[in-house]
Amino acid sequence: MTAEILLQTLASGVLIGLIYALVAIGLTMIFGVMDIVNFAHGEFLMLGMYSAFWLFALYALDPILTLPLTVLMLFAFGMLLYKLVIKRIVNAPMLSQIFTTFGLMILMRGVAQFLWKPDFRSIENSWVAGSVKVAGVQLGQPQLVAGLGAVAVTMLIHAFLTRTKLGAALEATAADKEAAQLMGIDSHRMFSLAWGIGAACAGAAGVLLATFFPIFPEVGANFILIAFVVVNLGGFGSVTGAFWAGILVGVIEVMGGLLLGPEYKTAVVLVLFLAVLMFRPQGLMGKS
């Protein structure tokens, strides 16, 4: 194994890891604010991918251009989903919560399959197609742009949470819902906001992925489990944790694939997941 291959693998791991981080940030926000694990999170990503695809296929608009539009649409969709479904199970027993988001997962996949058929789609010849050599390492341009895009969105989210009043209110609700309510912060508004942002993050990741990853109704399945691992490793509720953990998981995944063979790379991540659950359930940076 040459240094070049190692570096190559490392770089691709970091880039895909940044995408994982972006998906996970949305998931961790929802959990941090309302203690609900959104099993349907991968489907927000899937919807983002399809949005990018159809805007490209029907109107020849490049995903980079349509990214803001897709993000807005998914933000609205996330809030709508909260209002229609999630709001009813905020205080329901855990079994109900698990099955509701699980049901949503299956529902969205089913609807996607119904509307757009199970065929694999892809976006060819977008603005970012091709590859580029950076510091002696060959990188796919879509992957590079996706990685940078993920960093940009993460920074935006971080700025929102730390520098705006609304972001502070969100963090307050995540820290102590009752106390925040006593200070006049409406929990339901915050939950709705968290779902909107969560969906938007996953949707953004989807658009960025669509430039180089196949698009099909079940694509969310590939990412949801990894998103869990990242959220868990980074600490439930920690956006910064999700960011660094995402990169770490991306690297571990591709390294595992390099050492054991590509069919085992998911298994490597899952074993890591179980290990973290067992030995450090609060993750690297999270509240327990």
Partner 1 sequence: MKALKIMVGLGVVAALLPVATDNPTHLNLAILVLMAAQLGVAWNLLGGYAGQVSLGHAAFYGLGAYTSTMLLLNFGINPWLGMLLGGVVAALLSLGFGWSCFRLKGHYFAMATIAVAEIVQIVFTNWDYAGSAVGLTIPMTQRGWGAMVFADKAPYYWLALGLLVLTLLANWAVERSHIGYYLRAIKDEPDAARSIGINIARYKQIALSLSAFFTALGGSLYAQKELYIDPNSVLSTALSIKMALVAILGGVGTLFGPVIGSVVLTTIEELTRSFFGGGGRGTDTIIYAALIIGIAVFYPSGVIGWFREWQQRRKTKQSAPAESKNAPVREASVEEVAP
Which residues contribute to the site for partner 1 (CB under 8 A)?
Answer: 37, 85, 88-89, 92-100, 102-107, 109-111, 113-114, 117-118, 217, 225, 228, 232, 263-264, 266-267, 270-271, 273-274, 277-278, 281
Contact 264, 257 (CB under 8 A): yes
- Cβ-based nearer residue to partner 1, 88 or 132: 88
Q: How far is the CB of 103 from partner 1 (least distance, A)?
A: 3
Q: How far is the CB of 85 from partner 1 (least distance, A)?
A: 7
Q: How far is the CB of 101 from partner 1 (least distance, A)?
A: 9
- Cβ-based nearer residue to partner 1, 99 or 120: 99
- Cβ-based nearer residue to partner 1, 200 or 227: 227
Q: How far is the CB of 263 from partner 1 (least distance, A)?
A: 5
Q: Across the strands, what pairs with 139?
A: 132
- Cβ-based nearer residue to partner 1, 109 or 121: 109
- Cβ-based nearer residue to partner 1, 43 or 171: 43
Distances (CA, A) of 219 to 78, 119, 168, 198, 280: 19, 11, 34, 18, 29
**Structure token digits, residue 262:** 């590509």
Letter string b/e over residues 25-58, b meaning 16 or more CB atoms within 10 A of that residue's CB:
bbbbbbbbbbebbbbbbbbbbbbbbbbbbbbbee
Q: Which residues contact 263 (CB under 8 A, 6 or more apart)?
A: none
Supply the DSSP symbol for 121. Answer: B
Distances (CA, A) of 91 to 35, 106, 195, 204: 10, 22, 16, 29
Any idea how long the chain is? 288
Q: How far is the CB of 2 from partner 1 (least distance, A)?
A: 27
Q: How far is the CB of 35 from partner 1 (least distance, A)?
A: 8
Q: Which residues contact 235 (CB under 8 A, 6 or more apart)?
A: 28, 241, 242, 245, 282, 283, 284, 285, 286, 287
Q: How far is the CB of 209 from partner 1 (least distance, A)?
A: 21
- Cβ-based nearer residue to partner 1, 103 or 130: 103
Distance CA 2, CA 36 (A): 44
- Cβ-based nearer residue to partner 1, 250 or 283: 283
- Between the CA atoms of 150, 71, 38 and 249, what dihedral angle is there, to the nearest 10 degrees? -10
Contact 203, 48 (CB under 8 A): yes
Q: How far is the CB of 266 from partner 1 (least distance, A)?
A: 6
Q: Which residues contact 230 (CB under 8 A, 6 or more apart)?
A: 20, 21, 23, 24, 242, 245, 246, 249
- Cβ-based nearer residue to partner 1, 80 or 85: 85
